[in-house]
Amino acid sequence: MAMESALLTDLINGYAFTTDCLDLGAAIVDGAVRPEAQVRVPLSMLNRHGLIAGATGTGKTVTLQVMAEQLAVAGVPVFLADIKGDLSGLAQPAEPSAKLDERLSGIGHAFTARSNTVEFLALGQGSDGIPVRATVDCFGPILLARVLELNETQEQVLQLVFHYANTRKLPLDDLKDLKSVLDHLLSAGGKEDLRTLGGVSPASVSVILRGLSILQAQGLDPFFGQPEFDTADLLRSEGTGVISVLELPALNRQPLLFSTFLMWLLADLFDELPEAGDLDKPKLVFFLDEAHLLFKGASAAFTEAIISTVRLIRSKGVGLFFISQSPADLPDEVLAQLGTRVQHAVRVFTPKDAEALKKVMGTFPAGALDLKTALTQAGVGEAVITVLGEKGVPTPAAWTRLTSPGSRIGPADAPVVSGIIAASALAARYSTALDRDSAHELLTGQPSAGHPVDAPPAAPPRTPEPAAPGSPGSSPGNSPGSAEIDEEARRIAESILGKPTTEPASDFPIPDYRQAPEPDPAPRPRQGRESTPRGEASPQRQAERAQTGELLDFALDAANMLGREVLRGMFGTRRRKRR
């Protein structure tokens, strides 16, 4: 009895916050619900991220719905993905019932029916919601490599291909644009350009090309293109926060794609939002369902990018919640950043399950609660919870009976959903797909419907000019051989990628490009340090061009361009200006 009293006192004091909070439920002490021990989480702590975990059927989706609804009431926009198709009920009020009233009164709450301001979104073109598209260029090579399941070497090749398209001003809007660039590099007219990409072999380009064809065969073309979705539209508040529900019922067999697409949305937010510091409430709370899919088979670079995003996006005012079956699904570096833990029941049927239980228990602060009993005996709609208090200190673990939402649990009626989609203010901007003149049209000379080609195709391969007899470039002793040029091209490629490249040498031999420098038209005596007029190459630069030829000119210009072009974010996503 004394231990019970101590635990109850700790819970009452531990969750006695003075700022605005989300009400999650009431604590269970010694098998009885204690309404005086309310379990809450401060709004100001929700940008410290969180985890909702538990076995299938234990109530994770309803917990997500409870939190999303209360966030919206507090004026905080919410983004979540509806994988099973049962979160559309947020848009329709629930029906009262005696059983529901009894449950809520037992935890000191009262039922209030409510419908929320919901925006239904869908990946690509479809009837499930307003289309969400990304251009291939903004999606970036790292995330696209993740969708294509490329290895590290092939990912490096893809990054170089993106850089090539950018330097040649070939916009990559959709998959056919990227395929056209790859086809060009494999063609007779593109062999010259292929050689400039740091020793990229045609075999690696062919692997990427086959992967893109598979994506198209799976019907993923509509996800890439124009008009591109502006993630600023996720930050709307119309009296209450707008809940943006990304409907994904058609993608339940392509989980890697949607999990990667969610990371694109998050990465774009990270790149675009200004620093905000600590706020009274977050600008947006982002729920990532099936979070374990993000890390399954992921490369070290991709995982590190996610870890860095989780660490840094807090300062942008964005809260991030992972939803998964077990904390063990996430890297320790991510778990260390999650201040709010809502752990539904853990089912133990095998020795492996027992080991997983120990790991789950290790994620909660030590206290008077018997964690093993609570985690294995929690019923549906119950969870063990700990949050960060107003001073950033973890609260005692509380076995909690969770509250219920005021909106419908389960799918909304079809007419309700279709009416919301038809009335959406976003429909005029995003519903109709656009096909501008991009890389495919520029390379093939085929204008898109109603849009004439206003730029010539990519420059044809350059034909090396023979070196002038007696010129500095004609002397074998004064110019690098093909092996040196290949090594220099590889060095430039590594400077673009930011890491050593393991790509094998090109299948094509690299010729020795040598040409004479242009004579200085008006040499004049200089005193002290020489200067070069703006726009005019210095004699030293002219000599370098003579020695290295056009191959190194392209590589050096590509490296220099990195300082001038708009930089990509951590996932290789393209930063763009807001409207």
pLDDT at 575: 56
CA–CA separation, 176 and 246 (whole Å): 25
Angle between helices 300-312 and 255-272 (to 10 degrees): 50
Query: φ and ψ at 263, to 5 degrees?
Result: -70, -30
Positive or negative, the CA dihedral 326, 330, 333, 337 is negative
CA–CA separation, 76 and 411 (whole Å): 23
pLDDT at 172: 95
Return the number of other C-beta atoms located less than 10 Å from residue 533's C-beta.
7
Length of the chain in terms of residues written: 579
Per-residue pLDDT of the chain (579 residues; tens, 9 = 90+): 455 678 999 999 999 999 999 999 999 998 899 999 999 999 999 999 999 999 888 899 999 999 999 999 999 999 998 877 889 999 999 999 999 999 999 999 999 999 999 999 988 776 789 999 999 998 889 888 888 888 888 888 999 999 999 999 999 999 999 999 999 998 988 888 888 776 678 888 899 999 999 888 877 788 899 999 998 999 998 889 999 999 876 555 666 677 778 778 888 888 888 998 889 999 999 998 878 877 877 767 678 878 888 888 889 999 999 998 888 888 889 999 999 999 999 988 889 889 889 989 988 998 889 999 999 999 999 999 999 999 899 999 999 999 999 999 999 999 999 999 999 999 999 998 888 899 999 998 877 664 443 433 444 444 343 444 433 333 344 444 445 544 544 554 454 444 444 444 333 333 333 334 444 444 444 344 344 444 445 555 555 544 444 444 444 444 444 433 334 565 667 655 444
pLDDT at 539: 56
pLDDT at 405: 95
Return the number of other C-beta atoms located less than 10 Å from residue 197's C-beta.
26
CA–CA separation, 107 and 105 (whole Å): 5
pLDDT at 456: 38
Query: φ and ψ at 14, to 5 degrees?
Result: -65, -30
Cα–Cα separations (whole angstroms), residue 556 to 162, 402, 520: 17, 61, 22
Q: Which two tokens stand for residue 161?
A: 């291909």
pLDDT at 446: 79
Q: Are 453 and 442 in contact, with CB atoms under 8 Å apart?
A: yes
CA–CA separation, 477 and 482 (whole Å): 13
Strands 78-82 and 284-288, bridge-based pairing: parallel
pLDDT at 317: 93
CA–CA separation, 84 and 299 (whole Å): 28
